[in-house]
Chain A
Amino acid sequence: MLTLFLILYPAVAAALLLIVKGERVKQVALVAALVELVGAVAAFAQFQPDASSQFGFDYAWINSLGIRFSAGIDGISVLLVLLTGLLVPFIILSTFNRQYDRPALFYALMLFMQAALMGVFTARDGFLFYFFFEVALIPIYFLAAMWGGENRVPVTFKFFVYTIFGSLFMLVALVYLYYQTPVTGGHHSSAIADFYQLKLTPAAQGWVFWAFFIAFAIKMPVFPFHTWQPDTYVESPTPATMLLAGIMLKMGVYGLIRFILPIVPLGVETWGKTAIILSVIGIVYGSIIAIRQRDMKRLIAYSSFSHVGLMAAGVFSQTETGMQGALIQMLAHGVNVVGMFFVADVIFSRTNTRQLDQLGGITRTTPKLTVYFMIMLLGSVALPLTNGFIGEFLLLHGVFTYNHYLGLAAGFTIIFGAVYMLRMFQKSMFGPTSVRTGTFADLTSSESLVFVPLVIMVFWMGIYPQTFLKVTEPAVVNLMKYIGASAVSLK
């Protein structure tokens, strides 16, 4: 039942928020999101580390077809539920010093988005998953299209059409899978657990693989399906960018783990190498482009594209370390990328620019911002004892185990990551001040408050990752059984 609360409550809160007037709307939205956070943390804390689905519910939905309104939290979902619950209140808090037109609608859309994301990460029915997958697109589309930058209309339109286009392939695959399930009680089943039992022919597995892969690859995005992403990240208002990069792209990675690996293992055996190569190309390609970016947001967008490539590669490595790495890195990356975008937002709010060549010397007046920026940066470049290291270490081990050369190529992320992140840090924080940065004011207390939980997560996950690894482990072990023969075990 907790799952039902986690999905429905933010949607209800969003609807109620629309009737709140005036300045209070921010506070109300924050309180609403904090309540959801309590729910998510409760789910995480009470989660029994085994392979079962917990806190679930199961209602009839479209009875004649056997489609059910069924969701629950298992080891694959649990960290993403935590991520969604954790980030949204702090994304809302990050807007406290900013003004957006029609705030009630703005915050309602964010909460509505949260509801849809919770649905995606907990759905136990294939069509319910698809439903939430598409519903999540609506609030983010309006957030980007109504509050975005100058070029928002064509950019968001492209983003919308591109992702819808991708998910249609997934719908076809889902319908196909539905008809492959045995008939019981007069209808087929669309339960994801029943999809896992299917023994599809290799040919069918091949095209189902691609149908899912294209949908998820566009969402993440994986090279070469990424061209919507940098523009969308740059044009969207920063809170929407945080939702996109922090949580929404994980829908793609989650989909790979939830659907592709267990349902079409033979498809992965045939096409996994192609997918992993595309992912690794994305890692290197994205980070080389990031080295040359001048706009902070665009730079972070390309770095995010590069990082997500590593997660995809880790999943397709079909190793336990790769899988665990992907799960923990989704949480870590969400935390880090939101922190980085918030740094860009803080700088933009004071200087009205994100262009690195117009910044510099900010550190002279901002001890707090410098420290928080540095910590988020260290997480992003995967320094040991920060969250990024745990994820990247496991992911790179997975990819290296799959293929040494791909592991080496993917490993360039730790070099290039240092290059572009330190360049961004140096150009904005160090050196002489510019006209715009001469009187830069340090973080306000509400801005500092956004960073505090992020920093705690950076170090908690880096120093004692077992808190998170042990809840996902049984589910990963279970998943490895489906991959079966094609799995590469340690040693």
Chain B
Amino acid sequence: MKPELLCALIPLFPLIGFLINGIGFRHISKGAAGAIAVGAALASFLTTAYLFGAFMGQAAFRDDAGPLVATLFNWISVGDLQINFSFQIDQLSLLMLLVVTGVGTLIHLYSIGYMKHDEGFGKFMAFLNLFVFFMLLLVMGSNYVIMFIGWEGVGLCSYLLIGFWNTNTSYNNAARKAFVMNRIGDLGFLLGIFMLINTFGTVEYIDIFKQATSLPVGDSTILIITLLLFVGAMGKSAQIPLYTWLPDAMAGPTPVSALIHAATMVTAGIYMVVRSNVLYTLAPLTLEIIGGIAIATALLAASIGLLQNDIKKVLAYSTVSQLGYMFLGLSATAYTAGMFHVVTHAFFKALLFLGAGSVIHAMSDEQDIRKMGGLRKALPITFITFLIGTIAISGLPPFAGFFSKDEILAHVFVHNKVLWALGVLGSGLTSFYMFRLLFLTFFGEFRGTEEQRHHLHESPATMTAPLVFLAILSAVGGLLNLPGGGWLSRFLDPVFMFSREVNPTALTLELDHSTEYTLMAVSAGVALLALVVAYVMYVSRRAVPAPETAERSLPEQVVYNKYYIDELYDTIIVRPIRGLGDALYSFGEGLVDGVVNGVAWLVRQSSAQLRLMQSGSIGFYVLAMVVSIVAIFALRFFVRF
């Protein structure tokens, strides 16, 4: 089959699934709707797998296995600006495609069980398909504008799915907040694209990156471009200061949190930076800024996670924190490590969210971990898989998170020791809040109501099967890239060809093996220590977090209230803009209109005065005539016209 057709099929399946379920969702039975949606995602996955196989086969006998660009049509053409609707298949997009369609299919399957009783089931499945469509455009596009279509499209789906239960006003507000915050980032992205157009005359990745190799490291235009693009990444990947939408996004149904707000969409920012790796390699200052923002985000979010009592909120802050780690890796030009963590994080965070969904399902929609406890007996599969996910995210060997996080930290260590120390601290915090979550949920005594206890049940197979799949992936995902040049490093290597050209030393890791093993031991040791502390607190001493109303010490209160960042934004941005809107409407409009009416008044007044001159007195008319004639002659004398 022609590669163009094959490429086009990948996003086409979910689009068709969306159209069928979206247009006919009142007439299609739930069973059929679920089958169509899962089938569409699965068809995409299988096509991707086939394409992957073909691509690898080609790479085996050809060294110059460059990217495959499939142009569908000329989308926007204005003068010299040509924007094609085209896809680029290379190692990076294939990796993302596999993750999106693979994890996506599992989450679609899970949703059948999770959303079974919802009256909007067909609509939900349609939105999930639409999301996959846009996410595929995002990662497959061969230029920044196609990426931007996907970028904004996934934002729309995120909006639709966060506010899926739209009778609830606070959910709707969360959805709107997510869309608007993302739009702030998108403006940066858009301006970045404009600068790319004006600098390189094109938006195609290949053309831009080729031209960029002739620029010096530290070029000021590239600096601004990379910063603008990163503003977009801050919005989509929830970095300081644009992260507050992500915890609120947990208002959406849990599969949405797993798919969009953990595994795929929020990693788009990392994908974008890695895709633009040559530009970022050319802008060391931008990388420093990213490093600062990333570590601050990682630690801030992790510290908030320590005190949250909503099972999904803990996972949400954990996601923000892990995204910080990925950017931290990128800031040390550890692009492969960043992508590695994207992949492993997609496995274990999707697993954790789906596990949380299974718990919420069993607990009759209860999300407060203070009211759970002892669930491991009633939910054995959920418990085991959640445990695997927790170990993986905490960075304990030998599960996936250990390898990806340590690879990031190893690069950061070489780059900047302080950032490394802070990173290890954050990894300790991660381990603590995750085990706290695990212990409070699955260990100890059940703290919910009798009715909830009566209801407890393990989830159906459509939900547990994805958990098992993801648990296996979380357990063995580390094999993708074992220390010392694993498969993923070799596979992704061609993607960084231009980066290596502009700065040959940036991408190599200058670290001897003994140091590397020491670093691993240190971070694993810290994570283990945090695990022990959490065990002592929540299992041995059976501590339960205090209720909402309890007295808290000042620092605890600040953290518990998320450092009052939402309140701060409300005070310094939202309310001033509203006030300005009111002021401009009542006062500004009055002022402008007053001037207009004033002019009208002036005309009326002066015409009233001028009317008086038509007095009917011949003498006055003659006088006026003579004066005018003199004036005209005088004027002609001085001014020649």
Interface residues of A (CB under 8 A from B): 161-162, 223-224, 226-228, 285, 288-293, 320-321, 324, 361, 363-364, 367, 378, 383-385, 390, 393-394, 396-397, 400-401, 404, 407-408, 411-412, 414-415, 418-419, 422-423, 426, 429-432, 464-466, 469-470, 473, 477, 489-491
Contacts and interface: CB of A to CB of B under 8 A. Distances in A.
A490 B75 contact: no
B75 A466 contact: yes
A430 B163 CA distance: 9
B452 to A, nearest CB: 27
A383 B156 contact: yes
Interface in B49-76: 73-76
Contacts of B588: 285, 289
A490 B75 CA distance: 18
Contacts of A419: 176, 180
A321 B159 CA distance: 30
A464 B80 contact: no
B152 A383 contact: yes
Contact of A491 (B148, B156, B201, B592): B201
Nearest to B198: A401
Contact of B79 (A364, A422, A477): A477
A385 B169 contact: no
Main secondary structure of the interface of A (DSSP, over half): helix
Given A285-B588, A397-B194, A383 B153 contact: yes
B584 A288 contact: yes
Nearest to B200: A491
A394 B176 contact: no
A321 B78 contact: yes
A226 B588 CA distance: 12
In this complex, the interface size class of chain B, counting residues with CB under 8 Å from chain A, is 35 or more
28 contacts: A162-B596, A228-B596, A291-B578, A292-B585, A321-B79, A321-B81, A324-B78, A383-B153, A384-B152, A396-B190, A397-B81, A400-B194, A408-B191, A414-B190, A415-B183, A415-B187, A418-B180, A419-B180, A430-B166, A430-B172, A431-B168, A464-B75, A465-B76, A470-B77, A473-B79, A477-B79, A489-B80, A490-B81
A324 B80 CA distance: 13
B595 A292 contact: no
Interface in B570-591: 577-578, 580-582, 584-585, 588-589
Given A227-B592, A227-B596, A401-B198, A288 B580 contact: yes
A414 B176 contact: no
A257 B198 CA distance: 24
Given A378-B156, A408-B191, A423 B176 contact: yes
Contacts, number: 141
Contacts of B581: 288-292
Given A401-B194, A419-B180, A411 B187 contact: yes
Contacts of A466: 73-77
Given A292-B578, A397-B197, A227 B589 contact: yes
Given A224-B592, A227-B592, A426-B172, A394 B78 contact: yes
Q: Which 4 A-B pairs have the closest CB atoms?
A: A292-B581, A384-B149, A227-B593, A430-B166
Given A289-B581, A384-B149, A407 B191 contact: yes
B184 interface: yes
Contact of B166 (A363, A394, A469): A363
A469 B589 contact: no
Nearest to A491: B201
Contacts of A393: 76, 145, 190
A385 B15 CA distance: 13
B458 interface: no
B589 A289 contact: yes
A489 B198 CA distance: 10
Given A419-B180, A469-B77, A473-B78, A490 B201 contact: yes
Contacts of B78: 320-321, 324, 394, 469, 473
A422 B187 contact: no
A364 B119 CA distance: 12
